[in-house]
Amino acid sequence: MKVTIIDIGPEEEEEIIIKCNFLDDEIVKLINQVRQGSGKLTVYRDGGMFFLEPEEVFYFESVEQKVFAYCRAEVYQTKSRLYELQEELSGRDFVRVSKSIILNLKNIKSLTPAFGGRYEALLKNGEKVIISRQYIGALKEKLGV
């Protein structure tokens, strides 16, 4: 891999250009590291790459070894694992609510007790997410209840 650094004047905007035959995992990881400086998440849909503010995500779900980011009306895929997202978002309003879901607390409309000690979260976009009883303590702690 060739790296070129060009000195620019103060009036010019800094930019990073990546030339590649295809986006492999190493290049995607590099892009994610660069983007983390801005706090944005790199996600994918329909062959395109998108950058989201974490607050736009209602929840992340792991399904068949793939992780999806559910927003108000769109669903994106991310290359990060759920545990990586949990670490990356630890200082924000996200909490693990089951083995397969990380939930954005800012997008909860209401919480209702459900069967078997679980809770059901109704989100602002109308979706419902089940909170496992093993994770209720962490949720209550994060909510300050």
Q: Which tens digit of pLDDT belongs to each residue from 13-35? A: 888 888 888 888 778 777 766 66
Q: How far apart are CA 59 and CA 70, in angstroms?
A: 5
Above pLDDT 70, what percent of the chain?
Answer: 95
In angstroms, rounded to a whole number, what is the distance separating the alpha carbons of residues 49 and 123? 26
Q: Is 0.85 topped by the overall pTM?
A: no
CATH of 25-143, one of 2.60.40.1510, 2.40.50.1020, 2.60.40.10, 3.40.50.620: 2.40.50.1020
